[in-house]
Amino acid sequence: MVEVEEQQQQSQSTDAEAETGSEIVTEGSSVVHGDPPQDGSGPPRVDSEVEVLQEKVTKQIIKEGHGQKPSKYSTCFLHYRAWTESTTHKFEDTWQEQQPLELILGKEKKEMTGLAVGVASMKCGERSLLHVGWELGYGKQGNFSFPNVPPMADIIYEVELIGFDETKEGKARSDMTVEERIGAADRRKMDGNDLFKEDKLAEAMQQYEMAIAYMGDDFMFQLFGKYRDMALAVKNPCHLNMAASLIKLKRFDEAIMHCSIVLSEEENNVKALFRRGKARAELGQTDAAREDFQKARKFAPEDKAIAKELRLLAEHDKAVYQKQKELYKGLFGPRPEAQPNQSNWLVIIWHWLVSIFCHLFRRERHKID
């Protein structure tokens, strides 16, 4: 594999490898258990045992987690969807917004009290269904701004705890300095790389996602110059590692999204172009995939992995052409030979009989004359 020097002098290996700074780690054969949550119109159906956490909060586990549970003042990062129980109207979805929620246990907003009770009972990677009474949600008055929640509405949450920082101070991201946020994200990235080396792909992806959460859009918009470069040096490798993992899990649309985020910042990033091309090729988007591979080859002309993918696309196109050629040949077949028309023979015979009759008639008339 030929290494390509990027603007920040980082190795840009194009095959499905984890981004680890100066070290390249190839993917193992680990498997992430549990499908991504379904974005249905209503809450998922869960058959697991109901656990009563408080009088107004119950929990059913959808996917088991691992490790310890967060304690008071832990900074938790989570994704969730929320519905009003009576109407099953979905009023919030952080998965759709692609922005995890930061929740400090013990310092949460009043309307998040029931959600915090549920999160405190969860392990990293756990996904659960919570039923929260209105008293621990948006209360008697509800909420008429965003999100719109009617009065006295019981709430159903589908929650996944990505991970948490165990800190006694309970320091929110918004209270951190730029250096502190970038440092926290970098530690998460390095933890993810270590887990990836151990083939713990599920845990690694959680660490990468937490690192990305520190580098949210609200934060990145404020950065310029060296600080922005420092943040991108942490954030983009996490997106690329997520893409590599998602390709392996056959979650190609999500992989394309992560690669596109990197390319919005670095349009010539070879790894992002290559991995997006692979994901697009798997989805049958061959023209778009070829465009990505060709652009990647401009910046890495000797890269054998890129050449291989372009060759596979060419072979695929050739096979499709041959198949279509055979199909059309079978549909139309050889041109049929001209066959005499039966009605034409009848006309010929009729004219022959008429001519004979006329000839005989003239002959008899000649005799009479």
CATH number at residue 231: 1.25.40.10
Structure tokens that stand for 13 in this block: 């290996």
Domain termination residue (choose one: 131, 165, 199): 165
Q: Of 139, 165, 191, which closes a domain?
A: 165
Rounded Cα distance between 344 and 112, Å, is 90
The verdict on 205 and 260 lying in the same domain is yes
Residue 268 lies in a domain: yes
Residue 133 covered by a domain = yes
Q: Is the peptide bond before 147 cis (omega within 30 degrees of 0)?
A: yes
Can you give the length of the chain in residues? 369
190 and 136, same structural domain? no
Q: Is residue 70 part of a domain?
A: yes
Radius of gyration of the chain (CA): 34
Tell me the two tokens of residue 241. Answer: 């590692």
Task: Give the containing element (helix H, strand E) for 26.
Answer: strand 23-26
| Residue 59 domain flag | yes
Separation of alpha carbons 314 and 160, rounded Å = 42
What's the pTM?
0.69
Are 28 and 245 contacting, i.e. CB atoms less than 8 angstroms apart?
A: no
184 assigned to some structural domain: yes
Assess if residue 34 is contained within a domain.
no
In a domain, 9, yes or no: no
**Contact indicator for 333, 298 with CB cutoff of 8 Å:** no
For Cα atoms 181, 182, 186, give the angle at the middle one, nearest 5 degrees.
Answer: 120
Q: How many domains does the chain have?
A: 2
- Dump the DSSP string for 108-126: --GGGHHHHHHHHTPPBT-
Q: Are residues 76 and 103 in the same domain?
A: yes
Please check whether residue 338 lies inside any domain of the structure: no
| Whether residues 243 and 117 fall in one domain | no
Residue 119 lies in domain: 50-165
The residue among 208, 235, 104 whose CA lies nearest residue 164 is 104
User: How confident is the model over 265-324, as pLDDT tens digits?
Assistant: 999 999 999 999 999 999 999 999 999 999 999 999 999 999 999 999 999 888 877 777
The pLDDT assigned to 240 comes to 94
Q: Is residue 191 located within the same domain as residue 317?
A: yes
The CA-based diameter of the chain, rounded to the nearest angstrom, is 140
The pLDDT of residue 14: 52
- The H or E element spanning position 173 is none
Contacts for 341-349 with beta carbons within 8 Å, 24 or more apart? none
Residue 82: predicted pLDDT: 96
Distance of alpha carbon 355 from alpha carbon 81, whole angstroms = 94
Tens of each residue's pLDDT in the chain, 369 residues:
333 333 333 334 454 455 544 332 323 323 333 445 555 578 999 999 999 999 999 999 999 998 889 999 898 999 999 999 999 999 999 988 777 888 999 999 999 999 999 999 999 889 999 999 999 999 999 998 889 999 999 999 999 999 888 765 567 777 889 998 999 899 999 998 888 888 787 788 888 988 998 888 778 888 889 999 999 999 999 999 999 988 988 999 999 999 999 999 999 999 999 999 999 999 999 999 999 999 999 999 999 999 999 999 999 888 877 777 777 665 655 555 555 555 566 667 766 676 776 766 666 665 555
> Is 215 found in the same domain as 77?
no
Q: Are residues 124 and 98 in the same domain?
A: yes
Q: What is the pLDDT of residue 31?
A: 32
Q: Are residues 148 and 262 in the same domain?
A: no
Say yes or no: 141 and 76 in one domain: yes
Which CATH number do you get for residue 99? 3.10.50.40
The answer to whether residues 265 and 141 belong to one domain is no
89 forms beta bridges with 84
Are 152 and 213 found together in one domain? no
pLDDT at 197: 80
Residues 284 and 190 in one domain: yes
Residue 63: CB partners within 8 Å, gap ≥ 6?
33, 34, 125, 126, 127, 160
Q: Which of 165, 190, 222 is the last residue of a domain?
A: 165
